[in-house]
């Protein structure tokens, strides 16, 4: 809080003085205390201004130092007293003020000499400063003024201000722009031309403050000058700094944004716009809440609110934003409050895209889960397979004891059939856990498909049409033929369950060449020659949530007892073990397509006789 006894610039100068200073008006009340006086007496400025000076120093009107060596006593806000010495002088801005320079001395210290604290502060500043009376004549100038205009102080005192003003600008007086009703703050800031003592003309910037008496009318004017050349250098440097910051702002690969307290985007660089998918004109019409997922919104906005309210100055966190196309953008964001007098005027944030890192972390966690499940499944499968061997052996012995057809033989036959099915299940568990022997060789997928058609026909039943479209002269692949048969069987079973009322299952093969542009679809496969196996159905399809977990071991949407959740996990394991990749595309009601891409073995294997079969 600044008191109105003098311009704000003078108050700032007094604040910078090392000694405690108290200004008392002609009614004996405190008009101003500087920062050292606040610290000495313990009173904030807004509590003591306007109160009697006797609150601080009851005998402040006494001489600086009495004959008996004692001096006035000062009292702090907490009531404690302390001896002090006072230097008193009249303020030359307005004789109704008395300036007290406070010293709480050592016993052997000499009393401070009286002085003019206004004058000391006035002369100390490096800014050219002048005090003029109501008649526009100089009554005081500081050393910086004499250096700027070339006039010694003795020559300039009493000189009209027009003497240093260019003739074309003399018709405008600085004080004419000063508001008569409001003396707070800078009254006017103007550009004028001035004349140096040696005659050269230079442009300057002047700021004028009124010095008011008790009645509120200005009695004097405090003017501060800036050489336009100096200002130009400062403005040029500010522009260069702004240009350098703008260049960095746009060139950096990290996203950078500025957000207002109400969440509006004030600025966003190109990197963030590319990350989020919106242009800046689009972002400027949005708020931060608009690019958050609904389930994240309350938590993120609460943390942002802590910064805006000044409770937190900065934080760093991983955040999920929603791109324009609806996909998730994971970023590591560093948020810092923008400087302001009280509450922050907004926040600045730097955002680094960590979407790929999050994907790899999720893949790693998934791989750990799969490995743990695989180890457990492997142990169960081995033990179960041993039990099945005993059960199946006993069933075979029983079957030999019933050579003739009959109800008992039929029951035993069913038992051996169930054992074979259970053995197939353990084979899938072992294949999933990769504890079976992997025997790859160069083979032709067309041949594997053609040999499996009859089995697939019996598996699918009469209500499902099986169509194969096999490319002529197909490249070979290096894979285990038994695993490829398992892949076809599991995909066919999955398709059958998705088409309870019948439909069509289509199997296609093609030679393909992957390029750098295909990296998004097959990010873990290098460019080169591949063979694509496509299996598509016209079934019920899958939701995005089901697709995301389709290859997860033991995950199934089927009823209890109708699915193990291992079929697609076995497909994924076999294809990955052969160096390939499997992708799934599906939507509810439109069917499902599995695209399997396997590296070409570099040699062509003769095709089967039939390139296209409809069963």
Name 27's Cβ contacts closer than 8 Å, sequence gap at least 6. none
Buried b (16+ CB within 10 A) or exposed e, 276-308: bbbeeeebeeeebeebbeeeeeeebbeebeebb
Output the CA angle 368-374-377, nearest 5 degrees: 145
Separation between Cα atoms, residue 553 and residue 568, nearest integer Å: 8
Instruction: Say whether pLDDT at 347 is over 90.
Output: no
Same fold, 252-353 and 441-614: no
State residue 1's pLDDT score: 43
Q: Specify the higher pLDDT residue, 138 or 113.
A: 138
State residue 250's pLDDT score: 66
Instruction: Say whether pLDDT at 152 is over 50.
Output: yes
Separation between Cα atoms, residue 82 and residue 72, nearest integer Å: 9
Place of tokens 């033991």: 554
Give the DSSP per-residue string, 258-290: EE-TTSBEEEE-HHHHHHHS--HHHHHTSBGGG
Instruction: Say whether pLDDT at 258 is over 50.
Output: yes
Quickly state the pLDDT bin for 424 (edges 50, 70, 90): low
Q: How large is the average pLDDT for residues 284-290?
A: 89
State residue 216's pLDDT score: 58
% pLDDT > 90, the chain: 10
Q: How large is the average pLDDT for residues 527-556?
A: 85
State residue 172's pLDDT score: 59
Quickly state the pLDDT bin for 594 (edges 50, 70, 90): very high
Q: Specify the higher pLDDT residue, 401 or 189.
A: 401
For the ranges 4-18, 356-370, 454-468, 506-520, the lowest mean pLDDT is seen at 4-18
Quickly state the pLDDT bin for 358 (edges 50, 70, 90): confident
Q: Specify the higher pLDDT residue, 374 or 125.
A: 125
Domain coordinates in residue numbering, the chain: 8-122, 125-232, 252-353, 359-432, 441-614
Structure tokens, 319 = 């955040």
Q: What is the pLDDT of residues 177-232, one digit of tens each?
A: 444 434 444 455 677 888 888 988 888 888 887 776 555 566 678 888 877 666 66
> What kind of fold does domain 8-122 have according to CATH?
Beta-Lactamase (3.30.450)
Quickly state the pLDDT bin for 589 (edges 50, 70, 90): confident
How high does pLDDT run on average in the chain?
Answer: 78
Separation between Cα atoms, residue 36 and residue 101, nearest integer Å: 11
Q: Specify the higher pLDDT residue, 44 or 369.
A: 44
For 125-232, give the CATH class: alpha beta
Question: Which class for 360: exposed (0-12), middle (13-18), buried (19 or more C-beta within 10 A)?
Answer: exposed
State residue 170's pLDDT score: 76
Separation between Cα atoms, residue 588 and residue 425, nearest integer Å: 29
Quickly state the pLDDT bin for 415 (edges 50, 70, 90): confident
% pLDDT > 70, the chain: 73
Q: How large is the average pLDDT for residues 530-552?
A: 88
Of 59, 208, 203, 64, the closest CA to residue 130 belongs to 208
In terms of average pLDDT, the best of 56-65, 139-148, 245-254 is: 139-148
The CATH number, out of the four listed (1.10.287, 1.25.40, 3.30.499, 1.10.3470), of the domain defined by the range 359-432? 1.10.287
Give the single-character DSSP code of 343.
S
Q: Return the beta strands (E) in 228-363 as ranges.
A: 255-259, 265-268, 314-322, 328-337, 347-353
Distance of CA 351 to CAs 31, 339, 454, Å?
51, 20, 57
Q: How large is the average pLDDT for residues 9-13?
A: 71
In terms of average pLDDT, the best of 179-188, 421-430, 488-497, 514-523 is: 488-497
> What kind of fold does domain 441-614 have according to CATH?
Heat Shock Protein 90 (3.30.565)
Instruction: Say whether pLDDT at 248 is over 50.
Output: yes
Name 462's Cβ contacts closer than 8 Å, sequence gap at least 6. none
Which numeric CATH code is attached to 252-353?
3.30.450.20
Separation between Cα atoms, residue 473 and residue 536, nearest integer Å: 22
Instruction: Say whether pLDDT at 94 is over 80.
Output: no
Instruction: Say whether pLDDT at 501 is over 60.
Output: yes
Separation between Cα atoms, residue 37 and residue 469, nearest integer Å: 95
CB 575 within 8 A of CB 598: yes
Place of tokens 């307290």: 261
């Amino acid at each position: 809080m600044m008191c109105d006894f003098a311009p704000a610039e003078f108050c700032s100068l007094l604040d910078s003085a090392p000694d405690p200073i108290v200004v008392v008006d002609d009614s004996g009340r405190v008009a101003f205390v500087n920062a050292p006086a606040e610290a000495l007496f313990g009173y904030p400025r807004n509590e003591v201004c306007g109160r009697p000076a006797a609150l601080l120093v009851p005998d402040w009107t006494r001489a600086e130092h009495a004959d008996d060596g004692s001096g006035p006593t000062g009292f702090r806000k907490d009531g404690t007293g302390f001896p002090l010495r006072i230097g008193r002088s009249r303020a030359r801005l307005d004789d109704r003020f008395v300036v007290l320079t406070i010293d709480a001395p050592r016993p052997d210290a000499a009393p401070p000499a009286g002085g003019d604290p206004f004058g000391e502060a006035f002369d100390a500043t490096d800014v050219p400063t002048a005090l003029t009376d109501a008649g526009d004549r100089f009554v005081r100038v500081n050393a910086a003024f004499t250096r700027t205009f070339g006039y010694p102080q003795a020559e300039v005192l009493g000189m009209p201000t027009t003497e240093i003003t260019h003739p074309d600008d003399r018709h405008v007086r600085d004080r004419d722009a000063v508001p008569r009703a409001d003396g707070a703050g800078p009254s006017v800031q103007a550009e004028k031309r001035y004349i140096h003592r040696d005659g050269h003309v230079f442009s300057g910037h002047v700021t004028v403050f009124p010095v008011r008496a008790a009645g509120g009318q200005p009695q004097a004017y405090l003017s501060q000058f800036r050489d336009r050349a100096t200002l130009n250098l400062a403005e040029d440097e500010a522009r260069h700094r702004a240009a350098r910051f703008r260049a960095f702002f746009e060139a950096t690969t990290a996203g950078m944004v500025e957000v207002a307290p109400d969440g509006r985007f004030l600025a966003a660089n190109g990197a963030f716009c590319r990350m989020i998918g919106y242009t800046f004109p689009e972002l400027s019409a949005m708020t931060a809440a608009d690019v958050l997922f609904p389930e994240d919104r309350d938590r993120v906005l609460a943390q942002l609110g802590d910064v805006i309210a000044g409770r937190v100055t900065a934080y760093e966190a991983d955040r999920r934003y929603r791109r324009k196309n609806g996909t998730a953008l994971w970023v590591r964001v560093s948020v810092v409050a923008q400087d302001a007098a009280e509450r922050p005027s907004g926040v600045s944030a730097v955002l680094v895209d960590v979407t790929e890192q999050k994907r790899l972390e999720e893949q790693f966690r998934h791989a750990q889960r799969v490995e743990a499940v695989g180890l457990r499944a492997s142990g169960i499968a081995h033990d179960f397979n041993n039990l099945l061997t005993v059960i199946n052996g006993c069933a075979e012995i029983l079957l030999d004891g019933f050579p003739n057809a009959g109800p008992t033989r039929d029951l035993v036959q069913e038992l051996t059939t169930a054992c074979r099915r259970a053995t197939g299940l353990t084979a899938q568990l072992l294949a999933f856990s990769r504890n079976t022997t992997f025997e790859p060789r160069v083979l032709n997928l067309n041949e594997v498909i053609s040999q499996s058609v009859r089995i697939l026909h019996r598996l699918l039943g009469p209500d499902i049409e099986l169509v194969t479209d096999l490319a002529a002269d197909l490249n070979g692949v290096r894979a285990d033929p038994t695993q490829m048969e398992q892949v076809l069987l599991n995909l066919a079973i999955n398709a059958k369950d998705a088409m309870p009322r019948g439909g069509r299952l289509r199997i296609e093969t093609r030679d393909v060449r992957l390029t750098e542009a295909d990296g998004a679809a097959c990010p873990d496969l290098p460019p080169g020659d591949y063979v694509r196996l496509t299996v598509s159905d016209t079934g019920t399809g899958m939701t995005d949530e089901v697709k995301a977990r389709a290859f997860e071991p033991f995950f199934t949407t089927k009823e209890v007892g109708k699915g193990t959740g291992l079929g697609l996990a076995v497909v994924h394991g076999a294809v990955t073990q052969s160096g390939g990749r499997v992708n799934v595309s599906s939507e509810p009601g439109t069917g499902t397509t599995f695209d399997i891409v396997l590296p070409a073995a570099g040699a062509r294997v003769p095709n089967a006789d039939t390139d296209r079969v409809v069963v």
